[in-house]
Amino acid sequence: MQREGVDAALIIYHRDLLYYAGTAQPCNFLVPAQGEPALFVRRAMAMVKEETWVKRLYDTPSLKPVAELLSEICPAGGKLGVEEDVLPASLYKRIQQTFSKFELVNISPAILKQRAVKEEKEQVKLKETASIFAEAHRAIMENMKPGITEIELAAEVYRNVRRGGAEFINYHRRWDNTSTHEGLIAGSSTSWKISGLAMTVTGVGTGPSMPWGASPEKIRRGDLLVLDIGINYQGYHVDMARTYVAGQASDLQKERFQVIKTIMEEVMAQALPGVTAGSLFSVAAKKAEELGAWEYFQGWGDMKGYYIGHGIGLELDDPPALTKGNEELISAGMCLCIEPKLIVPEWGAIDIEDTVIIKDEGPEILTPVPLHLFEV
């Protein structure tokens, strides 16, 4: 906190509360740079008491006592860190008024930087989450056949994943993200159509209200099917993708799968502590060019994405973004998703994604399903 130059932080967002206070119940958490943190519980004190390590607890939904305590700690005012990327403007303005002696500064980048490197016990949880992907894979292997719709497959995937223990919700820090929690499930007729969500294989969904994710389109013999799914278990997310063929793969499908698999292997070989996030995209882009696949790599036309993955943890899409030019350094303990894909208009998509933990000796792949083009 001193490195960030703030006198205190006010944590309200439930994922950050979970990380710092051990509870996702509605709370206002005041963390002074000096002195004891205080948790102001807005609701469900009995449950909070069972969950949190914080000793100094107050039972009130109001911001006023928080401001009063902070005034005692910092009588001259100062700088107060708040989560500007997620707090709605109306609440932010209320905080400004209530903590009028304090200048508000954005503490979210510092929070996310700290969250990016996973402790040992977090790595254990990430591995537990990843194991559930086997259930999603099984749902496709057991149910995919010509004539089934994307939505019907999505229903089976969800059922398996939920029975496997996953929580229902994947979290995103982006306020306007509305992606499907059951994963993106898209066949050849939809997987090349890129909808507006900040992703590239999106599916087309069910209409204007939900224009991504599974659609009512049927899988046809010979179709490719992409399963790209985020899974959350005990608060920790993984994100994984595999591509399937309904029946026997064609030579072109096999060839394009091999291109993407080669790019994946190339990135994995370079995913080491000390490289920049952007360099992983460069490695992938260079290999795509070498293989003559640049035109369709990570999308096509003006919907192409200049990225090869992202961090992950308490939210599905955390820093660092593995985007072109990003100078952030990769370090040991980071959990990253690597997701090369080919998206070919009128043809379909090959999409594979693995979640890894960065180690000194190279990435440890968590995905429990082999990297094949599965013929179902």
Task: Identify whether the C-beta of residue 211 lies closer than 8 Å to the C-beta of residue 169.
Answer: no
DSSP assignment string, 227-247: EEEEEEETTEEEEEEEEEESS
CB of residue 205 to a copy of itself, shortest distance in Å: 8
* CA 33 – CA 35 distance, rounded (Å): 7
Residue number with CB closer to a copy of itself (120 or 302): 302
* Peptide bond just before 320 cis, omega within 30 deg: yes
User: What's the one-letter identity of residue 27?
Assistant: C
Pick the closer one to a copy of itself by CB: 257 or 307.
Answer: 307
Least Å distance between CB 157 and a copy of itself? Answer: 10
Give the residue with the Cβ less far from a copy of itself, 12 or 330: 12
Question: What is the rounded CA–CA span in Å between residue 93 and residue 153?
Answer: 45
At its nearest, how many Å lie between a copy of itself and the CB of residue 16? 11
Catalog residues that contact a copy of itself under the rule CB under 8 A.
Answer: 12-14, 18, 22-26, 42-44, 47-48, 51, 82, 84-93, 106, 151-152, 154-156, 158-160, 162-163, 165, 167-169, 171, 175-176, 178, 180-182, 193-198, 205-211, 213, 216, 232, 234-235, 303
Nearer to a copy of itself, 202 or 243 (CB): 202
Alpha helices in 120-250 (DSSP H): 120-131, 133-143, 150-163
| Residue among 38 and 166 whose Cβ is closer to a copy of itself | 166
CB of 340 to a copy of itself, least distance (A): 21
CB 70 to a copy of itself: min, Å: 19
- The residues near 82 (Cβ < 8 Å, ≥ 6 apart) are 9, 10, 12, 92, 95, 104, 105, 106, 107
